Structure 1
């Protein structure tokens, strides 16, 4: 591979924005890709994948390069040189790469690869939490999987098409997919591609949604005609899936504390041909109280650490702090207590997170079931999804039923 100067400059600029300015990697990459309209798909892929790669391995590369945050521009080039050397890319004769000790880099990599915090490039405190909650062996396997690039998974929108027709339609646009056993609505891309430019996407035939995330709506056991509340709907990936399972019949109330996210859901719903969704901003306790004892089904896709989806958001491990984890566990217990009141007697509730930590998952459900109101619910079943076992995102979901 030959390195192109303007593409490398883009990566360096992106890294400084992510590491020093605290910007989100996905937003930075989106911005970088708009930088030069002449870039082809290969150029864009290089910028995106290299940026994510160096973000993912920041701790390991910084240790090898002997640089510390905040990184100056020369430090960022040193990180880049470590990345290129370990990828077997020949460094061009540029001033940024003068005196790069390639043999020393490889030796240091071999040495550090024996220590998990460097090998998997994670903060000490996250490693300690992972070991405490999952055990040494399971955590080692899980965090290793979280450092692998995630597959691109599509969810077919059954309101508009079916898997077979979507597969054929994408093939006509040179995008190839395969079926996934045990995931009834999923197609996996055999090779990464920009699916958002396809006619199939513009026509609302699919959404991009990981296979594990697709399990949640099925877990809720919805039927056409029900009243369903999605309490932490965000931009609506699971809301839209629920709508397709309900065949657009009945009512879905999509709620979130962020109006901006619900606006995105409105756009997506229109494209998907979904018209049974009401949007409600949670700006006080009123919208929740109005729905007390009214819903057949309630989904609480709770805010969490996101430790099950680090493959997609590698910068999250550098932004997370121990205090956040303590705060989020309190929030999770609070939303369970508050939002569960919307379930009517005989109705069902799903509590879900994209975390792999028992303290955010089954422990929260067990604690809720011991509260005064929680005693009105029966535990039906739960599902713990680990990335190293499933091949997809780490997730948790628990199904509870309110007593008649």
Structure 2
């Protein structure tokens, strides 16, 4: 591989924003990819994948490069040199790469790879937490899996097309996909491609959604004609899936505390041809109270640490703090206790997170069921998805039934 100066500069600029200014990696990369209209798909892929790579392995590369935060541009070029050396790339004779100690880099990599927190490039506190909650053997496998690049998975919009038809349409565009066993609406891309530019996407034939995430809406047992609430809808990935499962019949009320996310959901619903969705902004407790005992199904896709989705959000490792996890557990319990009251007698509730921690998952469900608010509910079943077993994101979902 030959390095091009303008692509490398773009990567360094992106890393400066992510590491030193606290910007989110996905937003930074979106901006970088618009930087030069002359860039082809390979150029854009280089910038995106290299930036994500160095973000993912920040601790390991910084340790090898012997640099500490905040990183100045020289520090970032040293980390870039580590990345290039470990990838087997011949570094050009630019001033940034002068005196790069190639042998020393490889030796340090071999040495540090014996220590999990360096090998998997994670903060000490996160390594301790993962081992404490999952056990040494499972945590070792899980964090390794969470450091792999995520596959691109599509969820076929059954309101508009079928898996077979969409697969054929994409094949005509040289985008090859495969079916996934046990994921009825999923297509996995064989190679990465910018599917957002396709007419199929613009016409609402699919959404990009990880296979594990696709299991959550199905777990809620919805049927056409029901009244359903997606209580933490966000931009509506699972709301749209619920609409397709309900065949556009019945009512889905999508709730969130962020109006901009609900506006995005409205745009996506229009594109998807999902007509049974009503958005409501939670600007007071009245919004929830009006729905007490009136809903057949409630989905609580709760705010969480997001540790199950590190493959697609590698910068979360560096932004996440132990205090956030402790605080979010309090929020999760409050949401469960308040929003569960919308479920009517004999109705069902799903509590879900994209976390792999028992303290955010099984323990929260147990705590709720033993509380005053949870006394009318019974546990039906749950599903714990670990990345090293499934090959997809880490997720948790629990199905609860309200007594008649």
CA deviations 1:224-264 (Å, max 9, x no partner) are: 00000000000000000000000000000000000000010
* Deviation for aligned residue 1:379: 0.2
Misfit runs of 4+, over 4 Å: none
Are 2:271 and 1:271 aligned? yes
Distance 2:295 2:82 in 1: 55
* Deviation for aligned residue 1:350: 0.0
Distance 1:27 1:215 in 2: 27
Alignment of 1:99-138 (within 5 A): 99-138=99-138
CA deviations 1:126-152 (Å, max 9, x no partner) are: 111100000000000000000000000
Distance 1:102 1:254 in 2: 54
* Deviation for aligned residue 1:373: 1.9
CA deviations 1:302-330 (Å, max 9, x no partner) are: 00000000000000010000100100000
Are 2:388 and 1:388 aligned? yes
Alignment of 1:193-232 (within 5 A): 193-232=193-232
Alignment of 1:74-85 (within 5 A): 74-85=74-85
Distance 1:274 1:203 in 2: 12
| Gapped regions of structure 1 (runs ≥ 5) | none
TM-score scaled to structure 1, two decimals?
A: 1.00
* Deviation for aligned residue 1:125: 0.4
CA deviations 1:376-399 (Å, max 9, x no partner) are: 001000000000000000000000
Alignment of 1:4-403 (within 5 A): 4-403=4-403
Distance 2:353 2:133 in 1: 16
* Deviation for aligned residue 1:173: 1.1
* Deviation for aligned residue 1:370: 0.3
CA deviations 1:10-44 (Å, max 9, x no partner) are: 00000000000000000000000000000000000
Distance 2:56 2:138 in 1: 20
Distance 2:208 2:141 in 1: 26
Distance 1:330 1:129 in 2: 18
Give the aligned length. 404
Distance 2:36 2:147 in 1: 29
* Deviation for aligned residue 1:174: 1.1
CA deviations 1:249-303 (Å, max 9, x no partner) are: 0000000000000010000000000010010111110100000001100000000
Report the secondary structure of 1:375's partner residue.
coil
User: CA-atom RMSD, angstroms?
Assistant: 0.3
CA deviations 1:197-230 (Å, max 9, x no partner) are: 0011011000000000000000000000000000
TM-score scaled to structure 2, two decimals?
A: 1.00
Distance 2:97 2:372 in 1: 64
Report the secondary structure of 1:312's partner residue.
coil
* Deviation for aligned residue 1:338: 0.4
Report the secondary structure of 2:255's partner residue.
strand
Distance 2:313 2:233 in 1: 19
Distance 1:212 1:232 in 2: 18
Distance 1:391 1:3 in 2: 32
Report the secondary structure of 1:91's partner residue.
coil
Distance 1:125 1:259 in 2: 34
* Deviation for aligned residue 1:82: 0.2
Distance 1:264 1:82 in 2: 40
